[in-house]
Amino acid sequence: MTVEEEFQIAQFNALRKEVSLLSERFVRIQFGGLLIVPILLGAGVHLDLSILVASGPVLVGVAMMVLLYLQGSIMRVGKFIRTSVEPRLANNQPRWEQYLESIPANRFAERLQAFATLAAFMAYFLLSSALGCHRLASVLEKLELPKTFVVSAQIVYALCCLVTFALSIPFATKHFKTNTTD
């Protein structure tokens, strides 16, 4: 085996290990987010920490951006393997990344993962926004502010959340990579 071939094999193995580590991190963050966000929001409600409750949509958005970054990194490594490493190693033999892209059904798991992640993001974002809106009203009412001010503040908060939500969904669906051909 030549030095070049040994390098290519070592590079391939290192890249596959990176994909494995990124995938593991993705799953940990996804499950962590599914558990931690409700715990933080529940603690905020129970301990009367309104700022924690009001920041719920931000927490959900940050978690989603981290997941988008990790998924993009996984697909970027896969694309490099498919386009740069496998052609030099395979010598006209079947290639894994090429096989995954050859039939759309081969990427069903990635599409399902994207759907589940985006569905959880939408649900958590909308629920945390509603909870934040409710909490905002209770804080402002304790300050004995006029009802019109309280309602106006709720409307502004809700509109900010809805605009953020409306902008984030197309962004997330566009940037949640489920293949290595993009």
**Residue extents of the structural domains in the chain:** 3-175
CA distance 83 to 124: 37
Residue type, 154: Q
pTM, 2 dp: 0.81
Q: pLDDT value at position 92?
A: 66
Per DSSP, the three-state class of 20 is helix
CB of 29 closer than 8 Å to CB of 70: yes
Q: pLDDT value at position 159?
A: 92
Q: pLDDT value at position 18?
A: 94
Please give the structure tokens belonging to residue 138. Answer: 């209770």
In the chain, the percentage of residues whose pLDDT exceeds 90 is 29
Residue range 86-103, pLDDT digits in tens: 888 877 677 888 888 888
Below-70 pLDDT ranges, the chain: 92
